[in-house]
Structure 1
Amino acid sequence: MRRAYRKEPTLPDYRLGITSPIVTRLPGVAGEWEATAGIAELADIAAAADELGFEYLTCSEHVAVPTAIAAQRGGTYWDPLSFFGFLAGRTRTIRFLTQVLVLGYHHPLEIAKRYGTLDTISGGRVTLGVGVGSLREEFDLLGVEFGGRGDRADDAMRALRASLSASEPEYQGTHYEFGGSIVEPCAVQQRVPIWVGGRTSRSLRRAVELGDGWVPFGLGRSRLREMLDAVEVPHGFEVVLGAGPLDPEDAEGTAAELEKTRSAGATIVGVTIRASSADHYIGQLRRLAELGLKG
């Protein structure tokens, strides 16, 4: 009698980005190993992800999380510019996604200069994930006005579009106005992708009207599908939805989770990966890639 072997499922050419471990440690999500891991482990992980063809690595931004809130949101948030600047020289193709920069914490020209420099260093691999911010206590700590932040964010996005790839940017808006100055280096990409984070219908409208993609969080798949069906998404617009934590050793469960995420409207899936060490994490990346990354 011939023995029947169970065939592992193959993913249908997914585009997968990585929610970076170590640099952001969320309670209940981060593994214990991440508390003692550092830049050496991150460099190895980034090199493996780059080699395997993953779309991007992420890094979030919080400047100062109040102690009372850290138990819920976490207190470890590496600075994205420092993190990505280090990895730019150790990778070749993987992109660097800020997920997300809080627009109200920065002048648009500050972002244009800093991330234009990173785009130059990395050979055009920056994607700006931006958001309006939701942590009032952090706004207060930084002396930034919390009220009206949505309108300021809209104007900041328009200002960024006018300045990211321009050596002599000019802009006149409702909150920002500049011209007659040189900002060099600027981004080498003719159009730096700007993806908008958030979980509201307004964030999706902001993304469609002013950005190139949407990176929502904290929403169920059915709600995401409803929100996307309610708008006309432009051609080439990216919908970046999260999945995980995934255990690629469970190939069947991983394939099902990713397919559900794509069915909700994802053009790219941002994965969180379950692992017990940096070496195990790299092994999990390889298993995930073997299931079928889009080449």
Structure 2
Amino acid sequence: MRLGITSPIVTRLPGVAGEWEATAGIAELADIGAAADELGFEYLSCSEHVAVPAEIAAQRGGTYWDPLSTFGFLAGRTRSIRFLTQVLVLGYHHPLAIAKRYGTLDAISGGRVTLGVGVGSLREEFELLGVEFEGRGERADDALRALRASLSASEPEYAGTHYRFGGLIVEPCAMQERLPIWVGGRTQRSLRRAIDLGDGWVPFGLSRSWLREMLESVEVPDRFEIVLGAGPLDPEDADRTTVDLEKIHAAGATIVGVTIRASSADHYISQLRRLAELAGLEGRSP
């Protein structure tokens, strides 16, 4: 079973984040990342919000570390674990800005970036950034095509409905020949967007039965990732944790993104070790 980590500390959702995360910082996160890397977890995640209205933060949370800065630091403390933006809002950035920033991160990390992207749903944030909210799905589709043409190309060229560029040099670009793009969302359209334009789908807020029904309604390409969330998990409850993971896998997951219960950074690392044992992860040699 392949497991990724919904990183603690960097995103604090009400009712999910532990109290210890409020005072933890980059030192604790780096220790957690190094342990996850050693144990054989697939990825660490970091989400994106520039500014969340105070009245909405009570539901969505207000703490969102910048993924580029966070992963740039963690790249120096890890060797193999991947870095997943879960998610980067496409409408907030020009595709070439994403290609340059995350292409550089890919070069720094030795080819360990996975772009998790989304259309976005927070109208207030779009308005703050001066980005049109309506029509964002169509622009996101064009942005995905532009990204595929530019992420791993030093001299990218693209002519679409919203983005056009050529005759430019973007260096460094991603070192991966095909940097993976996973599309987030909870609709049939997001699944179709992921199949047509991406390499994986990261749904949220859907029941397992509905997930199975959606997946059975489409032809999923070979080596396409279905990344389903599990948790919060308490690996100290081995039986329940094992059952939860098996149910997520049965729902169609190729990778399970786990949220883990813990009372401190040290306890979190202990929970990681227990979870790795339960899932049969193969640790990486020093």
Task: Give CA deviations for 1:167-214 in whole Å, capped at 9, x if unaligned.
Answer: 000000000000001000000000000000000000000000000000
Amino acid at match of 2:270: G
Q: Measure how far apart 1:294 and its partner are.
A: 4.3
Corresponding residue to 1:259 among 240, 246, 259: 246
Q: Measure how far apart 1:293 and its partner are.
A: 3.4
Q: Which runs of 5+ in 1 are unaligned?
A: 1-13
* Contact 1:16–1:293 under 8 Å retained in 2: no
- The answer to whether the aligner puts 1:242 opposite 2:226 as a matched pair is no
- The answer to whether the aligner puts 1:210 opposite 2:197 as a matched pair is yes
> Match of 1:92?
79
How far apart, in 2, do the equivalents of 1:84 and 1:72 lie?
26
Amino acid at match of 1:57: L
Matches within 5 A, 1:274-285: 274-285=261-272
How far apart, in 1, do the equivalents of 2:54 and 2:275 lie?
36
Q: SS state of the match for residue 202, structure 2?
A: strand
In terms of Rg, which structure is larger? 1
How many percent identity over aligned positions? 85
> Match of 1:8?
none
Q: Measure how far apart 1:267 and its partner are.
A: 0.2
How far apart, in 2, do the equivalents of 1:169 and 1:291 lie?
45
Q: SS state of the match for residue 116, structure 2?
A: strand
> Match of 1:290?
277
- The answer to whether the aligner puts 1:271 opposite 2:258 as a matched pair is yes
Q: Measure how far apart 1:292 and its partner are.
A: 2.8
- The answer to whether the aligner puts 1:58 opposite 2:35 as a matched pair is no
Where does structure 1 differ by over 6 angstroms across 4 or more consecutive aligned residues?
Answer: none
How far apart, in 2, do the equivalents of 1:185 and 1:82 lie?
17
> Match of 2:150?
163
How far apart, in 2, do the equivalents of 1:294 and 1:227 lie?
29
Q: Measure how far apart 1:291 and its partner are.
A: 1.2
How far apart, in 2, do the equivalents of 1:107 and 1:210 lie?
17
Amino acid at match of 2:247: K
Corresponding residue to 1:33 among 5, 20, 26: 20
Q: TM-score, normalised by structure 1?
A: 0.95
* Contact 1:240–1:266 under 8 Å retained in 2: yes
* Contact 1:15–1:293 under 8 Å retained in 2: no
For structure 1, which segment, 115-124 or 133-142, has the greater mean C-alpha deviation from structure 2 after superposition? 133-142
Corresponding residue to 1:49 among 22, 36, 39: 36
Amino acid at match of 1:61: E
Q: SS state of the match for residue 277, structure 2?
A: helix
Q: Which runs of 5+ in 2 are unaligned?
A: none
Amino acid at match of 2:152: S
How far apart, in 2, do the equivalents of 1:61 and 1:89 lie?
21
Q: SS state of the match for residue 147, structure 1?
A: coil
> Match of 1:5?
none
Q: TM-score, normalised by structure 2?
A: 0.98
Amino acid at match of 2:26: I
Corresponding residue to 2:131 among 125, 144, 149: 144
How far apart, in 2, do the equivalents of 1:293 and 1:15 lie?
9
How far apart, in 1, do the equivalents of 2:276 and 2:59 lie?
32
How far apart, in 2, do the equivalents of 1:77 and 1:102 lie?
13
Coordinate RMSD, CA, aligned: 0.6
